[in-house]
Every structure is written in structure tokens, then in C-alpha cells.
Amino acid sequence: MVSVSIVTRPSLSLIGMRVRTSMADAQRDCGALWHTTFCPRMDELAALGNGDSYGVSWGVDYEAGIFDYWAAMPAPPDVSAPAGMARTELPEGLYAELAVPSLADLPASYAAIYEEWLPRQKEYAPNFQAPAYELYKNDYNITGSLMLYCPLKCNDLSRINKL
């Protein structure tokens, strides 16, 4: 059984690059976005934030498994995106938080939340109006661990003010 925490995350402005992909091609496409496209340009954004980076999944067609995946870093809202990059926003909201020991564990971690943990929840449901995202702290290259955040909505509206 996975150890999931329920947390409220603040909104965050990001700049990065994206790829439209499918669940079938995500491992290849998202990896290529990071390694061949975004990572070589991360220095352009490094001074704007704390060195953390984000992998952000915005659903496009849930039934077909199509989504936009962003590799991005925090940036103040008043900073323009460099050429070839764009801005995306993480909305404030309620999230299921899960520590992921390594990148190799990421697919199983998504499955653990969406296929095991969430179906057993009576109080929470997935929020398909917000993105799921991975947080790669600035020490990711040393630790290899990351955090996974999956957006939630409360089924029990009386709980909203208690969170």
C-alpha cells in the first residue's frame, strides 16, 4: 500500500517546453523532451528560481490518453519566456502527494495513485481540470528521488474548509 498525503499546493508560474504525447509514447517522448530539448537550455532559467524543475501533465483527451507534458522551471510572472519556450501555470489546489524513490518508479507511482489509492477513496476524486506534476528538487541529480502530485477534488464539500 502506498503512503499518500493530502496537501494543498500553492499556484506557481513556470517557463518551459512541451510535447503532446500519449500514454503509449510518454516514456519516449517525455524523456526526449527532458534530455535533448529542455535540459540543454535549463541554464537560461536557473537564475530565476531555486533550481527545482517540474514535469507537468495537462490532460487533452483523457479517453484517448493524450496529454501535453511540460518540462519547466519556476519563473516570476513578469519574466518573458525565452525564444522556443512558453509559460504554464500550476493552479493552487488539493493534491495527492507521493514520494517517488527514482525515475524508474514513476510509472508504478502514477498507477499506485490512480489505479489503487484513488478508487478506494470516498472523500476524494481526481480533478481533471488541473495538471498532475512531478517535482524534481534541485538535488535530484544527487538523490534521484522526486515528488509526485496528482490533483484532487473533495467529494465531501464539508471537508473543504477543514483542509
Q: For 24-55, write each residue's pLDDT tens digit.
A: 999 999 999 999 999 999 999 988 888 899 99
pLDDT over 80 (residue 162): no
> Is the pLDDT assigned to residue 150 strictly greater than 60?
yes
CATH architecture observed for domain 5-162: Alpha-Beta Barrel (3.20)
Give the chain's mean pLDDT: 91
Quote the distance between the C-alpha of residue 9 and its chain's center: 12
In order of 100, 104, 107, the CA distances from 130 in angstroms are 20, 24, 19
Q: What is the largest CA-CA distance in the chain?
A: 47
Q: CA angle, corner 94, sides to 52 and 96, nearest 5?
A: 70
Give the burial class of 47: count Cβ atoms within 10 A of its Cβ; 0-12 exposed, 13-18 middle, 19 or more buried.
Answer: exposed
pLDDT single digits (tens) 78-126: 999 999 999 999 999 999 999 999 999 999 999 999 999 999 999 999 9
pTM beyond cutoff 0.85 = yes
